[in-house]
Amino acid sequence: MTHTLSVLVHNTPGVLARIAGLFSRRGFNIDSLAVGRTHDPTVSRMTIVVEGDDQILEQVTKQLHKLIDVIKISDITKDVYVDRELVMIKVHAEAAARAEIMQLVDIFRARIVDVGRKSLTIEVTGNEGKINAFEDCLRPFGIKELVRTGKIAMLRGLRSSSVDKENSHKEEDVD
Amino acid sequence: MAKKELSGAQILVKSLEAEGVDTIFGYPGGQALPIYDALYDADIRHILTRHEQGAAHAADGYARATGKPGVCLATSGPGATNLVTGIANAYMDSVPVVAVTGQVPRRLLGRDSFQEADIVGITMPITKHSYHVEDVSELAQVVKEAFHIATTGRPGPVLIDLPSDISLSKIEYREPEEICLPGYRPPADADPEQVIRAAGAIAGAERPVIYAGGGVVISGAHEELLRFAELLAAPVCTTLMGLGSFPGNHPLSLGMLGMHGTKYANYAVTECDLLIAVGARFDDRVTGKPETFAPEAKIIHIDIDPAEVGKNVRVDIPVVGDVKRVLNQLLAVLQPRLGEAWKKKIEHWKKEYPLTYCEKGELKPQEIIREIYNLTGGDARITTEVGQHQMWTAQYYTFTRPRSFISSGGLGAMGFGMPAAIGVQVGCPEEVVFDVAGDGSIQMNIQELCTAVNYELPINVAIIDNGYLGMVRQWQELFYNRRYSQSELRNPDFVKLAEAYGAEGIRVTKRAGVAPALEQAIRSSKPVMIDFIVDREENVLPMVPPGGSLSKMIG
């Protein structure tokens, strides 16, 4: 099944290679990966979406824990979380089709960020379902290019998968 | 007055001294020259090997014998890549080794410069951690962290890659700070609830077996293991890495389990109702077919590495913590038990299925191992290469104390034994050291004989010479219809070779010659290489075919 891992790491060169290596060694393909600094500039957050056998993934997660630069891993797959992805789509848009495309943009609360002679570039954020639906709607017009950031996710409510400064240690959120 | 500035290389040496390093195994080269220059004035003994792989294995052997971290040093590029097998070996067997490599100066990095190799990238999957030093001001801290990481928790190799411009740049030396690694907190005591669950399972067991691995040796838990086994009257089998963690001559000892384990160890594991794994990792050479491994047993797994729990076999009660501390936690709550029926059954198996070989005909490898045992009273430090001779050593030398058997277990690296023996002898100068070797393996690092001669290290090398890559030949005999493809060896004259290096060489072809040759070797203050010409097609038995069930052994 598909897992979403939220991983806090030390913001050092090589940390991405170490993490990627543990997945590739076991034949896992990373579906999406989003990396960025957290509010603490020495710490980065990786949101990794990966598909694979639950048992093997549990083993990979344990191996990830062993990396010195990994501070915390949460497999939030079964938690309640908000997730977003930002996608930019460059779609073929002759004059005749523009009105219809702009209507779709409205419906999906997307935004047009660039206009070309025969194209529109549209930005849309949302979860996977919304983005897939939007992509399907635009496909008949002719998608020229599509770029996506990869998913980022955050647990709902007060719970967090950040490091508690008072009591920072590796833990896996399983509840 | 301004404080004196130190170069990066001087800071490295000072930091190594601060970690208590008194010996380094290494080999100089271009980008390591600043480090070697700093070593020239240091109170650290440097052992110059003849190949960087030898340096890595020697540091590994030194660490395994003494329990202290081993340090090896090489230059960039080929120097660093030659360390790779040694680093992988230390990783697989959880040995604390700190490897320092020179690197091209920062301005040349990533340009395919002369003798440049991305050694941090190459060794990423075979190190516990690695550092590419990017600023001389962080070097002292890096060294401190490297030793901390290498030696604590589940030990392992740590690499420090040091560009030569950093070795040369000068800075006012500052003491490193306290180590703060939020991503690294090795467990110590186990969860008390898991200890209680384990104790409950132990109290309810009728046929318990203890399966002890290298973790017992690393943790220094051999005394606790002895008390634990005696309290429970539970038989103990060990892995290859666990040999010596429990006295092999103890009535409760079952010897080694697994592919070339004793029949009684494998039968006991197959029929036990509780298997207590202590510092072991259920390697495929131990379990055979995982589905039929200990089929009737509840499994308790005591290990410091949570990633080992459930990795290879199902585990009923994981107890994550330092083996020594967990055993003490258990000893505090357990009651003695008696298991007469189980004991009788084990004694019956031991009597019915002992380790045997035919003592007639040509000289047999097993009798050479037994003779080394007899003449050293079981007190020698034994290293091995990898292959048949390694398994015969594991079977026929009765190891009674930890850190006396030093062998490449996980990686199975031929060429380990001789450089390891050098490291062992450096760390334990008063002790008798033997490298039991095969005629194939010994040639993988035979150049290190020169190192032993140079530093007057009186190691002994016993070559079990059958003119084959013996284990390969055995598998070809059993599983490839006797098609001996590329397994027969035409060897040099080992006696002349030893003499050319300045060591003593002895050849033994007959049974009567074994003891006198070994006695001469033990007495000699020089390195001695003995070439034992043995029965060519002797097999290591019993044997569980690869992927088979432990209960179905050949021989």
Instruction: Tell me the average pLDDT of chain B.
Output: 97
Q: Which residues of B touch A55 (CB under 8 A)?
A: 310
Tell me if B75 is assigned to some domain: yes
Report whether pLDDT(A28) > 90. no
Q: Which residues of B touch A71 (CB under 8 A)?
A: 182-183
Mean pLDDT, residues B384-399: 98
Number of residues in chain A: 175
Q: Which of A9, A21, A62 sits opposite B306 (nearest CB)?
A: A62
Contact B132 A13 (CB under 8 A): yes
Domain identity same for B400 and B468: yes
Tell me if B58 is assigned to some domain: yes
Find the range with the poorest average confidence among A166-170, B11-15, B197-201, B369-373: A166-170
Domain identity same for B153 and B245: no
Measure the CA angle with vertex B124, ends B119 and B125; round to 5°.
135
Q: Which domain holds residue B369?
A: 365-533
Report the residue of chain A nearest B128, measured CA to CA. A67
pLDDT interval class at B430 (50, 70, 90): very high
Domain identity same for B331 and B215: yes
Mean pLDDT, residues B119-144: 97
Q: Is B121 in CB contact (< 8 Å) with chain A?
A: yes
Domain identity same for B385 and B512: yes
- From B119, B141, B172, the end of a domain falls on B172
Tell me if B178 is assigned to some domain: no
Domain identity same for B87 and B196: no
Domain identity same for B391 and B476: yes
What is the pLDDT, as a whole number, of residue B470? Answer: 98
Spatial neighbors of B364 by CB under 8 A, at least 6 apart, are B357, B358, B534, B535, B538
Q: Which residues of B touch A14 (CB under 8 A)?
A: 120, 124, 130, 132
C-alpha distances out from residue B7 to B3, B10, B11, B40, B324, Å: 13, 5, 6, 14, 41
What is the pLDDT, as a whole number, of residue A13? Answer: 87
Mean pLDDT, residues A88-98: 95
Residues B66-109 have pLDDT tens digits of 999 999 999 999 999 999 999 999 999 999 999 999 999 999 99
Mean pLDDT, residues A153-162: 83
Q: Is B358 in CB contact (< 8 Å) with chain A?
A: no
pLDDT interval class at A162 (50, 70, 90): confident
Q: What percent of chain A has pLDDT over 90?
A: 71
Tokens of B211: 């399966």
Instruction: Tell me the average pLDDT of chain A.
Output: 89
Give the ranges where B220-364 is alpha helix by DSSP (H). 222-232, 263-271, 284-287, 323-333, 340-352
DSSP letters of B459-472?
-EEEEEE-SB-HHH
Contact A68 B149 (CB under 8 A): yes
Contact A13 B307 (CB under 8 A): no
User: Which residue type, as a one-letter code, is found at position B335?
Assistant: Q
Tell me if B482 is assigned to some domain: yes
Helix axes B323-333, B192-204, angle to 10 degrees: 60
Domain identity same for B337 and B386: no
Q: Is B149 in CB contact (< 8 Å) with chain A?
A: yes
Domain identity same for B166 and B210: no
Domain identity same for B449 and B374: yes
What is the pLDDT, as a whole number, of residue B361? Answer: 93
Tell me if B546 is assigned to some domain: no
Q: What percent of chain A has pLDDT over 70?
A: 93
What is the pLDDT, as a whole number, of residue B524? Answer: 98
Give B45 or A52, the one with higher predicted confidence: B45
Report whether pLDDT(A164) > 60. no
Contact B125 A25 (CB under 8 A): yes
Size of interface A-B (CB pairs under 8 A): 48
In angstroms, the separation between the Cα of residue B168 and the nearest Cα of chain A is 23
What is the pLDDT, as a whole number, of residue B337? Answer: 87
Q: Is B179 in CB contact (< 8 Å) with chain A?
A: no
Contact A25 B124 (CB under 8 A): no
* Cα B241 → chain centroid: 7
Q: Is A42 in CB contact (< 8 Å) with chain B?
A: no
Report whether pLDDT(B34) > 90. yes
In angstroms, the separation between the Cα of residue A25 and the nearest Cα of chain B is 9
Tokens of B282: 């259920």
Tell me if B453 is assigned to some domain: yes
- From B125, B144, B172, the end of a domain falls on B172
Residue B524: other Cβ atoms inside 10 A: 14
Distance in angstroms (rounded) separating the CA atoms of residues B531 and B504: 11
Residues B239-253 have pLDDT tens digits of 999 999 999 999 999
Q: Which residues of A touch B130 (CB under 8 A)?
A: 14
How many domains is chain B built from? 3
Helix axes A15-25, A54-66, angle to 10 degrees: 150
C-alpha distances out from residue B257 to B50, B142, B301, B357, B449, Å: 36, 41, 16, 18, 33
Measure the CA angle with vertex A174, ends A172 and A175; round to 5°.
135
Mean pLDDT, residues B516-532: 98
Domain identity same for B123 and B217: no
C-alpha distances out from residue A52 to A32, A60, B125, Å: 13, 10, 21
Residue B341: other Cβ atoms inside 10 A: 10
Q: Is A169 in CB contact (< 8 Å) with chain B?
A: yes
Domain boundaries, chain A: 2-78, 82-152
Residues B247-302 have pLDDT tens digits of 999 999 999 999 999 999 999 999 999 999 999 999 999 999 999 999 999 999 99
Domain identity same for B207 and B314: yes
Tell me if B267 is assigned to some domain: yes
Tokens of B412: 């199975």
ipTM of the complex: 0.88
What is the pLDDT, as a whole number, of residue B21? Answer: 98
Give the ranges where B234-306 is alpha helix by DSSP (H). 263-271, 284-287
The fold for domain A2-78 equals Alpha-Beta Plaits (3.30.70)
> Same CATH topology for A2-78 and A82-152?
yes
Tell me if B358 is assigned to some domain: no
What is the pLDDT, as a whole number, of residue B516? Answer: 98
Q: Is B129 in CB contact (< 8 Å) with chain A?
A: yes
Q: β-strands B236-238, B70-74: how paired? A: unpaired
Distance in angstroms (rounded) separating the CA atoms of residues B240 and B518: 25
Report the residue of chain A nearest B313, measured CA to CA. A55
The CATH number of the domain covering residues in A82-152: 3.30.70.1150
* Cα B309 → chain centroid: 22
**CB burial string B431-454: b at 16+ within 10 A, e below:** ebbbbbbbbbbbbbbbbbbbbbbb
- Cβ contacts of A153-160, under 8 Å, gap ≥ 24: A153/A4, A153/A6, A153/A47, A153/A76, A153/A81, A153/A82, A153/A83, A153/A84, A154/A81, A154/A82, A154/A83, A155/A74, A155/A76, A155/A79, A155/A80, A155/A81, A156/A79, A156/A80, A156/A81, A156/A82, A157/A80, A159/A79
Distance in angstroms (rounded) separating the CA atoms of residues A36 and A87: 17
Mutation site, B118, B122, B124, B134, interface A, largest A CB count within 10 A: B124
What is the pLDDT, as a whole number, of residue A175? Answer: 36
Q: Is A70 in CB contact (< 8 Å) with chain B?
A: yes
Residue B304: other Cβ atoms inside 10 A: 25
What is the pLDDT, as a whole number, of residue A52? Answer: 85
- CATH of residue B403: 3.40.50.970
Residue B295: other Cβ atoms inside 10 A: 13
pLDDT interval class at A158 (50, 70, 90): confident
What is the pLDDT, as a whole number, of residue B153? Answer: 97
Domain identity same for B261 and B386: no
pLDDT interval class at B2 (50, 70, 90): low
What is the pLDDT, as a whole number, of residue A163? Answer: 67
Q: β-strands A81-92, A152-155: how paired? A: antiparallel
Q: Is B181 in CB contact (< 8 Å) with chain A?
A: yes
In angstroms, the separation between the Cα of residue A50 and the nearest Cα of chain B is 19
Q: Which residues of B touch A58 (CB under 8 A)?
A: 310
What is the pLDDT, as a whole number, of residue A169? Answer: 45
